[in-house]
Amino acid sequence: MSRVGKLPITLPKGVEVTLHDSVLTVKGSRGTLQRLVPASVDVEIGKEALDFKRKDDSKEARATHGLIRALVNNMVRGVSEGFTKGLDIQGTGYRAEVQGNNLNLSLGYSHPIQFALPEGIKASVDRGNTVRLEGIDIEVLGETAARIRALRPVEPYKGKGIRYSGEHVRRKVGKTGSKK
């Protein structure tokens, strides 16, 4: 039995969960999310909790039991609390600013980069070098943060680039001149 899959999900106040034709819909104060539930997993919706049960012990059922529970738990947390992800920009002249639904980045290239934010993701910039992304879908939020970080990954010699908040980058020692 999956250790994660057998744990119930407690529903916070204001969160509604419905299951219709194997599509699970989670509605909360911040928005609505939907996910297709595999046929090998049963969802039992109670007043205050969700339970996930396997229909059989097939390989597919065992593989998806804990996974679907974790994904639905993230949906419940997203529509009730929301998720945030921070990015730090380090480097001389590197900065970011938000204009409407675009994130304008100056990352040392010959041109500024306009990054279009996906639907449901909001960005804010503090002091020009700290970007804070917010959203209810943790998958879209993580993918967006990874795509922004990939525009200028941190290089290990000077530490310039975009990193996640709290990420430690291992620094390398540069070359030293050889004496003959």
CATH 3.90.340.10 fits 83-164, yes or no: no
The pLDDT > 90 percentage for the chain reads 78
What ranges do the domains of the chain cover?
9-80, 83-164
- Residue 178: the pLDDT is 64
pTM: 0.88
Per residue in 89-142, pLDDT (tens digit) is 999 999 999 999 999 999 999 999 999 999 999 999 998 899 999 999 999 999
Strands in 95-99's sheet, in edge-to-edge order, are 95-99, 102-106, 113-116
Predicted confidence (pLDDT) per residue in 156-170, tens digit: 999 999 999 999 999
| 9-80: CATH architecture | Alpha-Beta Complex (3.90)
Domains 9-80 and 83-164 share a fold: yes
Provide the pLDDT for residue 177. Answer: 65
Q: For residue 122, how many other CB atoms are within 10 A of its CB? A: 13
The model's pLDDT over 78-99, given as tens digits with 9 standing for 90+, comes to 999 999 999 999 999 999 999 9
Burial label, 170 (beta-carbon count in 10 A; 0-12, 13-18, 19+): exposed
